Structure 1
Amino acid sequence: MRTRRATRSARLALAITAAAALTATLTACEDEVVDNGAAGSDSAGAGGSDRDGDGGSGDTTEDETAEGDAGRDGSGDGEGNPVEQSCGTTDLTFTVSTETQAGGYFLVTAQANEGVTCHLEGSYPGAAFGSAEESHAGPAGHAVGDTIKLSGDAVAYAGISPKTTNDDHGVEYEQLIVGILGDESDPVSFRLDEPVLVDQPVATNWTTDPAEAVPFSK
């Protein structure tokens, strides 16, 4: 599966814990979204973003990667030794791929940037498809998991399902915005290769097992 680096969005705030703040942040992110290539979706229809329409189907095998800053202030002790901290959006590199299970979902992979060692809380990621509050992903119903230590080759996974309703209703979006829940630094925008139908999106908790990142899997 092919990956490539993508330019990060302009510095924005992602305050998903406060709906009003997040809406303002993601509106700015939408206005300045960077074309990061194709992440793809299995439930998409024709047309642009923020439009009502029916979902279709498509195939994609291309991943997206977007890298944050090498680390936030405090990532080192001044002598080249890493200082362990809570993971922020800019401490991590994200990769997004399209999966077909559970009706189609996006698998997000998070890995610490070089020289960074941080702890990722076991809650769900901050994710949205646009500025509208209904495009923000809620929890997939799982209890908060264990904290994950990210450093070197260690990775964490989360699954994002754009549509959890069993009908043809929803709004089409052309991007996926990913960040760390509660972190107010740069979210990362991935442009989708075709619009995806969004209705009551959800995200799983971060986990070290990709099989646990399938929304609604048992």
Structure 2
Amino acid sequence: MSPWELFLHASIVVKLVMIGLIVCSVYVWAIIVTKTLTIRRINREATEFEDRFWSGGSLDDLYESEGAKPVHPIASVFGAAMGEWRRSARISGADLVRGGVRDRVDRAISITITREMERLERGLIFLATIGPVAPFIGLFGTVWGIMHAFGAIAAMHNTNLSVVAPGISEALFATAIGLVTAIPAYVAYNMASAALGHFSDRMEAFGTEFAAILSRQSEERS
């Protein structure tokens, strides 16, 4: 029997389970495609920004062009740190070091990284949930389908394989859909979490280096 025929001949409960799993599978793949493109984009933008940052150009010019209105996470970290440093410089004047500029810059960097990671990690909780749960949802549909099949067998008083097989096949199809939904979700969650973890470390490393640069400039001005 084809998958379509297995679906059509399943009981209403098993059909609902299958439909729910198929909808979840579509959403899982949408998240996978979106996260894959996003991770590639932010790494590419981060590399391009770091090249401009370390090129020796003016930090003020870089802030005006990218930091004031950042469009990617690394630029947001740079903009938050540079903006806090500028505000502190205006307020504190020459007393930059004793004014705790480094602490304020570090706090601005930390808050920005946390906010950016929360935005990048949206959707991962769904993958983390579907991965372990989908097989059990499919198993519920299988159990229900087998119960329904056995009820039909009892009503027909016939245990011939040609009578038993279709009902059991329809039931097992629900578990198959559950596995097809769960496996990509589980793999994608682990891969995306690892990639975003590396990117978080990259932002923290950049933030630490930039904060050190600003700290040195503060000491030179004080």
Shorter-chain TM band:
under 0.3
Specify which structure has the higher proportion of helix. 2
> Which structure has the bigger radius of gyration?
2
Q: TM-score, normalised by structure 2?
A: 0.20
* Bigger relative contact order, structure 1 or 2 (CA pairs below 8 A, ≥6 apart): 2
Specify which structure has the higher proportion of strand. 1
